[in-house]
Chain A
Amino acid sequence: RKEVEQDPGPFNVPEGATVAFNCTYSNSASQSFFWYRQDCRKEPKLLMSVYSSGNEDGRFTAQLNRASQYISLLIRDSKLSDSATYLCVVSLSSNDYKLSFGAGTTVTVRA
């Protein structure tokens, strides 16, 4: 079983729509969680960290559910520029340098 699993999508949504997707992780000891964004096989870039209480950054909301071992990302009022692959990243602890990446969820926002 993969350490981090994501629905690959693609999620095709119209501009202005809300899109949400999850990522599950297998190691219950995981401590740090992130969402990264990757455009067209370019380098991944941090979108946001995911905190225990959940957090919001503009149109993006991340949630953590430790009981069910998943994190989620919700994008409100989708823009064309949100089209990308979103990578879920998990590490075992704050000082664990081994990060596990999901294969990514592709989102395509159409006009």
Chain B
Amino acid sequence: EAQVTQNPRYLITVTGKKLTVTCSQNMNHEYMSWYRQDPGLGLRQIYYSMNVEVTDKGDVPEGYKVSRKEKRNFPLILESPSPNQTSLYFCASRGWTGGAESNQPQHFGDGTRLSIL
């Protein structure tokens, strides 16, 4: 079954304690991305990766790091989490076939609800 898997689904932690949210996809997609979703703000892109070893900042990258050492994995790292990073996080992946109207949809993971106290 094609899927994007995030772990953990829920995490409550404290300020300053480094954490990693893993994301893995089994569709051989080149593109992966991390978003956070906050009430009234919609999904905002944190980082994205167009392929292995190629990553770039999204709209809200501050306080986050990512890596793309393998095509299937795209972990999100919070080196020193703070309460303003309490949010719902989604990882997504997408393939690419070319052409403006053949843009493939993103497949999202189930989400990670993160609470930083």
A residues neighboring B (CB under 8 Å): 4, 8, 31-32, 34, 41-46, 49, 51-52, 87, 91, 93-95, 97-99, 101-104
Contacts and interface: CB of A to CB of B under 8 A. Distances in A.
Given A43-B108, A102-B42, A32 B48 contact: no
A111 B94 CA distance: 37
A43 to B, nearest CB: 4
Interface in B56-109: 56, 58-59, 88, 90, 94, 96, 98-103, 105-106, 108-109
A87 to B, nearest CB: 7
Given A43-B90, A46-B106, A87 B42 contact: yes
Max chain A C-beta neighbours (<10 A), residue from B33, B37, B96, B99: B37
User: What are the 10 closest A-B residue pairs judged by CB atoms, nearest first?
Assistant: A46-B105, A43-B108, A103-B42, A94-B100, A101-B43, A101-B42, A32-B103, A94-B103, A97-B48, A31-B100
Given A42-B111, A44-B90, A87 B100 contact: no
A104 B74 CA distance: 26
B87 to A, nearest CB: 11
A99 B40 contact: no
Nearest to B96: A95
A57 B111 CA distance: 27
Contacts of A41: 37, 88, 111
B34 interface: no
Given A98-B45, A101-B35, 14 more contacts: A4-B42, A8-B40, A41-B88, A42-B111, A43-B110, A45-B108, A49-B103, A49-B105, A93-B100, A97-B33, A97-B50, A98-B58, A99-B45, A103-B41
